[in-house]
Amino acid sequence: MPKMSAEVEWHDATDSEGMPTREFRISRAGKRDITGALWLPGSTPACRTLICVGHGASGDRYQAPICSLAARFVDEIGLPVLSLDGPVHGLRQVGDGGRGAFFPEFQRDGCMEDMVDDWTCAVFQAQSLAAIGIGNLAYFGLSMGSLFGIPFLASRDDVTVAALGLVGVESGFPHDQILLDAATKIDCPLVFLMQLEDELFVRDGYLKVFDAFASVDKRLHANPGLHPQIPGEEIDFVFEFLAGHVNGTVERSIINPLAE
């Protein structure tokens, strides 16, 4: 990867659940700043994988369940976790720093490409640290974390597993073809979460995105409830799914209930 000219400011912080993090601001000439947080394990991990997480449009780098997942990845399997603020969120807040600011930003041409560029730069800077180094990526992101995460994953060849969801497309949806085209380039194992009474995305739109993924191993988990009402056990499954693929401990078996 070519060298990226940027200045990075780091400072120690504590996330919303009391876990120590290192917050950062990346400044680049002619481009917007990038902000976020990095959780580091106590020792250099044997498995060189960086867990990347994206948040929803109403939150920031610490939106639930990011902090609890980060704590598990750091404490239980010793992997670093990188979380970025969205384009108008968190440490680079514009307006209300939530959906009210996100919706006009998402209408803008180039917003998808700009966020992919943000992720690319942030991953480069994180992997430049001796505590992380060059390795693979795993990704978790729901809602806006999928809207921006899908094109980001499509731009990489080092992503080994992903957990996505709470997103769909329909007629008139901004950048719908960009999203679907990007999904066709993703072939890593993935789990996709769907809410059956989602007030933001229709069921057919969910399925269009899910069907577009090129992954042979892709699972659709559908649950009752509105957009933000994800069952807690799904987040537990996400952790086990990502961790299992990162560690290479996943064993797939097929059970035929009709076998005699």
Convert the pLDDT of each residue in 26-62 to its tens digit.
Answer: 999 999 999 999 999 987 766 789 999 999 999 999 9
E strands, the chain, where?
7-14, 20-27, 34-39, 49-54, 81-84, 136-141, 159-165, 190-195, 218-223
What's residue 18's pLDDT? 95
Q: What is the mean pLDDT of residues 126-140?
A: 95
C-alpha distance from residue 110 to each of 44, 51, 216, 226 (Å)? 37, 25, 30, 29
Cα torsion at 139, 144, 149, 152 (round to 10°)? -150
Mean pLDDT of 62-78: 96
The residues that bridge with 24 in the sheet, in sequence order, are 10, 36
What does the pLDDT read at residue 42?
86
Note whether 106 and 147 are within 8 A (CB): yes
Residue 86 has pLDDT above 60, yes or no: yes
pLDDT of 158: 97
CA 97, CA 84: separation in Å to the nearest integer?
Answer: 14
**Full-model pTM:** 0.94
Give dist(CA 246, CA 69) in Å, integer.
15
DSSP H/E element including 82: strand 81-84
Classify residue 216 by its DSSP letter: S
Instruction: For residue 141, list its beta bridge partners.
Output: 54
pLDDT at 171: 85
Q: Per DSSP, what are the bridge partners of residue 219?
A: 191
Segment 51-76 mean pLDDT: 97
Among all chains, which residue has been given the structure tokens 């995305």? 201
Q: Which amino acid is at 169?
A: V
The domains found in the chain, sorted by start residue, are: 7-247 (3.40.50.1820)
Rounded mean pLDDT of 208-235?
97
Specify the pLDDT at position 4: 60
Cα separation, 50 vs 39, whole angstroms: 10
**Mean pLDDT, residues 227-236:** 97
